[in-house]
A and B are shown apart, each in its own frame.
Chain A
């Protein structure tokens, strides 16, 4: 019997992708919880940056807004958005963790609108915020999403933030900084990367309790399989304790 929920699992898996001594552009919600979990487990020297200007805060609790005072609580710097973004552009920010309403096989992300006509959207969504910037300029983009056919789609209604664009060399040719791009897609069912040549999404690890068929059924496009597919390590007792007791005691994120 599993003793964790899908949000806890996704946060734990994302946290394990973050290296000690690295820098990460972070928003609120699950990405922030993942970065905090990494700091309190495997990556105590992970530096968190918020797009609004906060650098390396000691977060006393989860912020409710990407610019609230928690995002620069006892930080080393309370700067500007331009400073954070130029730091990304200069190549000093390693990770971005993003989500979206739709994601395609190349890791492109939509958070702008749903529907066929941009000018008459079925649903207007908030837009890029800093997502396009982080996905363009940070070295590795980690995407977190629930695995559903309506989210993992063959064609986005709108490309808000760049993944591998049309696959192959298209991202490198677009003018976006070289050697940047989506690195992992973390869902409740699996962990995916992108096949190095085609840049098409492929399954590298399956979460406990699911099969490849479950994952494929809940994805509109055909998924590739890595040569070896692992079973995702479930959250450890330590990860769950830190996440539940220290990071999100009010279950604001893990209770969703």
Chain B
């Protein structure tokens, strides 16, 4: 059968898929309903360690925890692993800070139709980053396997391609049907950051709109930092418990960061700041200008609020809110 004779994969496995090792960690994880509120600087200092494998919630330029990415760069974290699950603006920020040295790739470097990120591209072409190839579904399945506490999930994608050959997946013959299956090894990130709409102080979280893979990511991660647009009372969580996407016992830190996804978009709150993203892509073409851009936009900003202020403050946010709510589209405005 093809599983025996086919080229097996040659990519490196950056994380341990052993579910009993993971269980040992989760056994020791606190289940107490404590107040986990802290500022983002402290949360990153405490929970994001040099060398950790990092994963980021959201997708593309949507609900990505940009405040946390900038804080990670500001604190000069290094030698991290990273899961590039359609990672766009978050990826170029972390690449600019040379935060990671190994990446599981599904989609990196590009900002979709906006073009490629020169700094991310040159960092990935430098030979200084170890890579392993996957697809979006494969990474989603790897997180699902980890969330389930099993060592892998079988899927039917990737087979026969170089994406498989340069992954760390395997194939097997199904014992029930004799079909060849691709096996996606469980991915347990050391630490993840997810930006949500609402959370209480213990870490119960609500997300509006698409969840993408963040339900599984939250469950797969050993340490989890939540940044939230708003804090809500625990009573409000209990009034509508079906809306809880992430329960408190997965969460290590809750950080109140309004506009924490800016300049990426937050559903029902604010649209992505296309002008600012374009500025990012343009300024990178000139290394000197990019260095001073990073200094003023990341290193010299004490926190995300200062960055928002620098980027046009609440007036700019209001414009992006109007765009998100389609107030520029008259006919839709009339419907509302």
Contact = CB atoms under 8 A, between A and B. Distances in A.
B166 A126 contact: no
- The SS class assigned to the A binding surface is loop
B62 A68 contact: yes
A185 to B, nearest CB: 18
B324 interface: yes
A175 B161 contact: no
A176 B59 contact: no
Given A65-B265, A160-B161, A81 B213 contact: yes
Interface string A115-159: 000111101111111111100110000000000000000001011
Interface in B94-130: 105-110, 112-114, 116, 121, 124-125, 127
B304 interface: no
A73 B136 CA distance: 22
**Which of the four size classes fits the interface of chain A?**
35 or more
Given A65-B265, A132-B157, A51 B136 contact: yes
A67 B195 CA distance: 15
Contacts of B216: 80, 82
B265 A112 contact: no
A131 B135 contact: yes
A132 B125 contact: no
B187 to A, nearest CB: 13
B113 A69 contact: no
A49 B324 CA distance: 20
Contacts of A67: 58-63, 86, 210, 212
B113 A160 contact: no
Interface residues of B, number: 67
A133 B271 contact: no
Nearest to B121: A124
Given A65-B272, A160-B161, A175-B159, A81 B137 contact: yes
B209 A78 contact: yes
Interface in B241-299: 265, 267-268, 271-272, 274
A69 B267 contact: yes
Contact of B179 (A118, A128, A175): A175
A126 B194 CA distance: 23
A80 B84 CA distance: 17
A81 B59 contact: yes
Contacts of B106: 127-130
A133 B59 contact: no
A54 interface: yes
A217 B144 CA distance: 47
B43 interface: no
A89 interface: yes
Contacts of B215: 80
A175 B272 contact: no
Nearest to B160: A174
Contacts of B157: 85, 89, 132-133, 136-137, 176
A20 interface: no
Contacts of A174: 2, 6, 159-160, 180
A175 B181 contact: yes
A191 to B, nearest CB: 24
28 contacts: A52-B212, A60-B332, A67-B58, A67-B61, A67-B86, A68-B61, A69-B271, A71-B210, A79-B210, A80-B212, A81-B137, A82-B216, A112-B162, A121-B125, A124-B125, A126-B107, A126-B109, A126-B116, A127-B106, A130-B135, A130-B136, A132-B138, A133-B138, A136-B159, A162-B159, A175-B2, A175-B156, A176-B160
Ranked 5 nearest A-B pairs via Cβ: A175-B180, A53-B210, A174-B160, A129-B107, A133-B137
Given A85-B141, A126-B107, 5 more contacts: A78-B209, A112-B133, A112-B163, A127-B106, A128-B163
